[in-house]
Amino acid sequence: MINGPTSICAGCASRSLEPLAAHHCHVCSQELRSSDGRCSNPICHWPPGQRGFSRIHALAMFTGDWYRVICDYKYSADNQGWAIIFGRLIVGWLEQHAADVQGIDLIIGNPTSPARQPHQHIEGIMAAADIEDQPDRWPLAPKDEPFLTKRNLTTTSAVTGTNWHAKMQAAQEHARELELHGDARGKRILLVDDTCTTGAQMHTVGAFLRKHGAREVRGLVLARVPWGYRP
């Protein structure tokens, strides 16, 4: 995967990882299980003007080996090499879904605090993606010029479990620590993160960017967490 083109990496991953459900929400990418085809995620029923993001794309579901690999990277200082793979998959996904990101002006990561241990995992992924985008085809924010940063540590979404309101509170706390270093006015922004459960953090970060003039914020995550999933 490291030596081949990013399109090959993305193609291989699409065959080996659990794909999104055939019937999934076109706002948050969660599987639709109700007979009326309505998403059970409350945020998807908010008016578009109230929601901080327009939609969330996902590379795969957060299950099986994909769950273990992402967790190994996030929580272990010894597995940072996965950032290279994740960065390549982000660029590969962009190449395979060019129509879905047409009109995007800027691609940034959902920032982590410099105090995060064992490392700033999202920043590592975005730095790897920037290196892989050799022709500079995609509007990735330069790794040495952060567009959006986070000042301090906050409650992690993982410790809230599956409680929707607790996740929203943690997401609001996260957004209060954000600091903007670039001009978001009029931009369509693609916000990259590792996983998504409720979309709460995509909403609060998206709302922050829209407050500062962003025209639209979409999300892209490595993995969509299925409702009630237990590894």
* Cβ–Cβ under 8 Å, residues 187 and 214: yes
- Residue-wise pLDDT for 51-80, tens only, equals 999 999 999 999 999 999 999 999 999 999
Q: Which amino acid, residue 137?
A: R
- For residue 74, which of 141, 124, 127, 113 has the smallest C-alpha distance? 124
Strand-pairing partners, residue 149, are 179
**pLDDT of 9:** 64
Both tokens assigned to 189: 């922004």
Omega before 226 within 30 of 0, i.e. cis:
no
**Band (231; pLDDT cuts 50, 70, 90):** low
Of the listed ranges 4-8, 32-36, 87-91, 140-144, the least confidently predicted one is 4-8
Q: What percent of the chain has pLDDT over 90?
A: 82
Residue 160 has pLDDT above 90, yes or no: no
Average pLDDT over residues 174-197: 97
- Residue-wise pLDDT for 199-209, tens only, equals 999 999 999 99
- Residue-wise pLDDT for 83-94, tens only, equals 999 999 999 999
Distances 207 to 3, 217, 222, 225 between C-alpha atoms, Å: 38, 8, 21, 22
Both tokens assigned to 49: 């003007």
Q: Give the separation between CA 21 and CA 30, rounded to whole angstroms.
A: 8
Q: Give the separation between CA 6 and CA 59, rounded to whole angstroms.
A: 14
Please name the fold of domain 53-224: Rossmann fold (3.40.50)
Indicate the average pLDDT of the chain: 92
- Greater confidence, 192 or 34? 192
Distances 107 to 47, 52, 71, 102, 208 between C-alpha atoms, Å: 24, 16, 23, 12, 15
**pLDDT of 86:** 95
Residue 224 has pLDDT above 80, yes or no: yes
